[in-house]
A and B are shown apart, each in its own frame.
Chain A
Amino acid sequence: MTATTFIDGLSLGAIYALIALGYTMVYGIAKMLNFAHGDIIMVGAYTVYSTLLWMGKPILAVIFAIAVCVILGVVIEKVAYKPLRGASPLAVLITAIGVSYLLQAIAQLAFGAKAVPVGLPRFPVLHIGDKLVVNVSTLITLGVGSVLMIALTLFIKKSKIGRAMIAVSEDRKAAQLMGVNVNRIISLTFAIGSALAAVASIFYLMQIPNTSPTLGSMPGIKAFTAAVIGGIGSIPGAMIGGVLLGVVEKICLSIPALNPYTTAIEFAILIVILMVRPTGILGKKIREKV
């Protein structure tokens, strides 16, 4: 394994971690698996694509992508999930899968099934020493990703709203009795998760400059796996899971003998971790009340 592979892996891991945070926060607070989360990334990517076509300004594309994803995330929650609060988890899960297909179908109608190139600015290559070749975009992903994750952790731990989020995730009814507006907290969770997904979509496009209606599927599933590996519901867990998966993926891809088994190895790690620690690396032990 070269240093380049490791840095590439960390950067991919940062993308997975940003997406995984959306899964894990929504699970922790709304107690549901939002399988449409991966497709938010796809919507973000198409927003970047459209903005660049209309206005050609990358910075506007970034702002619009975040705005559109946040609005979409909140609207999906209000329209599709809120009426089902209190319904069986299975009903909510199926609804989420339905929303995912709906978003993909809309994208396919609007933009066609073929992949389209996205003209974000390209970044130069840095040669550090003899061996290390890193693209600046990789370093940006790594840097901004880390800053966002630290900021999110601080926000949850220190701010009043953050603590309200923890309260809702620990006991929704008690939090409500203490005057926390649960619906607002859930909306906010979706907004933050979608904003992180939008940022992830921009990083993704910096590495892989095209988008198609199914763009979100694979990163979505990988990030969900990362969230489960880290312990779903746990924010540091999502980060650890994401980075772990990213590094493993890059190492596997760079070894020709392992390359064809990359996806299998990633999911095998999930199985092994769930066998050893059924709640994930940082997951809490759940005690069932009798």
Chain B
Amino acid sequence: MKLSTKRWICSLMLVSMLLLCFAGCGKANSKDTWNIGATGPLTGSASSYGISVKNGAELAIEEINKAGGLAGHDFKFDMKDDQAQPGPAGQGYDVLYEAGMIASIGSVTSDSCLAFGAKAAKDNLFFITPSASAQAVIETGTNAFRVCFGDPDQGTLAAQQIKADGYTKVGCIYDTSDPYSAGIYEAFKAEMDKQGIAFNTQSFDKDNNKDFSSQVEQLKECDIIFCPFYYTEAALVAQSCVSKSVNAVLFGCDGFDGIAGMFSDTDVISNKILYITPFDVNSTEAKSAAFVSAYKAKYGSEPDQFAADGYDAIYLIYTAMKQADIKDLSLTASQVCELIKGVILQSSFSYAGVTGTMTWDASGACTKTPIIVEYKK
């Protein structure tokens, strides 16, 4: 008797839950906003990237809606937490698509964005990822685009810069266990070989990413060390250089953005630290400066490159939709995708964002001029 009552209650709860789910779906179909979706790591060890992109994107949405939205309808942005993993990113896509997403800024990290892109390709849903830089991401479909540089681009650029600056004693450290780092290294090596510059390579992996004194020791004769990895390790390399009195220039990629936060007051970094980045937080250019001050006012901290990329991705979608003169909320994602592509693939189209003036080609890759920033304490 008791058991069957329990069963009754359980089934009742189950049925009501299911009903609630359908109720949710019903609401989504009668939407009155332009829904932009995304997934990114909002919890876990990569959460800083996801939160930055989310902040940048939400700032852009807020500004666009304040200016009247598009065709009288507001934009709505929703980022699902994927913890930088492909599984949750795919699930996030399904939930967002069910809720009426018409365009997307994809996922924040490359692995997630591959899963996201595979699903988006089936629905032909336009997405432009702010930060997933692996080459395979834009190869998921003709609907896939990106705001950031591709990984290989930065390696090639770095090698060309080293050649242009006339360095001959060159070292390189890279992370063999990270596709971002290894991808840049491969392109760097190819370009260095092409330029005919010999260099000394050292490596590390995710189990040995704390102690860099051995690698730095091996590179003590170098004038410049190319470091294609993220700022946490970069700061440790700089600190190892100091404790080993190695004075080479440390030359990094966009992953160096954020290195300032990894030094404490007692650090006296004597090495010059340079990095390639599309976004300079200290830029005096009007658009970037306005973005930085608006971001600071809203979130109380300086935006990093991920926030800037997220901001640009949202504005690109808005700009393209506006130019395509999209007014009808009942258009499908696939129709919106073709209209957006029709705009941004015109040879005359360029978008001046906070990460530079960008153009796109049919591959989904973005062309923009990088700047080389020097870290200053």
Contacts of A12 in B (CB 8 A): 211
- State A62–B265 Cα separation when bound (angstroms): 18
Confirm or deny: B301 has a beta carbon within 8 angstroms of a beta carbon on chain A. Answer: no
We find that the number of chain B residues with CB closer than 8 angstroms to chain A is: 36
Residue in B239, B243, B266 whose beta carbon sits within 8 Å of that of A125 in the complex: B243
Q: Which of B19-27, B42-50, B326-334 lies at the binding interface?
A: B42-50
Confirm or deny: A50 has a beta carbon within 8 angstroms of a beta carbon on chain B. Answer: no
State the Cβ distance, B233 to closest chain A Cβ, in Å.
Answer: 9
Q: Which of B139-147, B154-162, B214-222 lies at the binding interface?
A: B214-222
List CB contacts (< 8 Å) of B183-238 with chain A.
201-205, 207-208, 210-211, 213-215, 217-218, 220, 232, 235-236
- State A113–B49 Cα separation when bound (angstroms): 12
Confirm or deny: A123 has a beta carbon within 8 angstroms of a beta carbon on chain B. Answer: yes
- State A213–B213 Cα separation when bound (angstroms): 22
**Contact present for A133 and B215 (CB under 8 Å):** no
State the Cβ distance, B47 to closest chain A Cβ, in Å.
Answer: 6
State the Cβ distance, A55 to closest chain B Cβ, in Å.
Answer: 13
Confirm or deny: A122 has a beta carbon within 8 angstroms of a beta carbon on chain B. Answer: yes
**Contact present for A122 and B214 (CB under 8 Å):** no
Q: Which residue of B lies closest to A253 (CB)?
A: B214
State the Cβ distance, A287 to closest chain B Cβ, in Å.
Answer: 38
Contacts of A123 in B (CB 8 A): 243
Contacts of A119 in B (CB 8 A): 264-267
**Contact present for A122 and B217 (CB under 8 Å):** no
- State A121–B266 Cα separation when bound (angstroms): 6
Q: Which of A150-158, A256-264, A269-277 lies at the binding interface?
A: A256-264
Confirm or deny: A8 has a beta carbon within 8 angstroms of a beta carbon on chain B. Answer: yes
- State A254–B220 Cα separation when bound (angstroms): 12
CB contact under 8 A between A135 and B232, given known A5-B214, A113-B45, A117-B267: no
Confirm or deny: B122 has a beta carbon within 8 angstroms of a beta carbon on chain A. Answer: no
Residue in A5, A114, A208, A210 whose beta carbon sits within 8 Å of that of B48 in the complex: A114
Confirm or deny: B245 has a beta carbon within 8 angstroms of a beta carbon on chain A. Answer: yes
Report B's interface with A, CB cutoff 8 A.
44-45, 47-48, 176, 201-205, 207-208, 210-211, 213-215, 217-218, 220, 232, 235-236, 239, 242-245, 261-268
Q: 4 additional contacts, CB 8 Å, given A119-B267, A253-B215?
A: A8-B214, A122-B267, A125-B245, A253-B214
Report A's interface with B, CB cutoff 8 A.
2, 4-5, 8, 12, 52, 113-115, 117-123, 125, 127, 133, 135, 137, 207-210, 218, 250, 253-254, 256, 259-260, 262-263
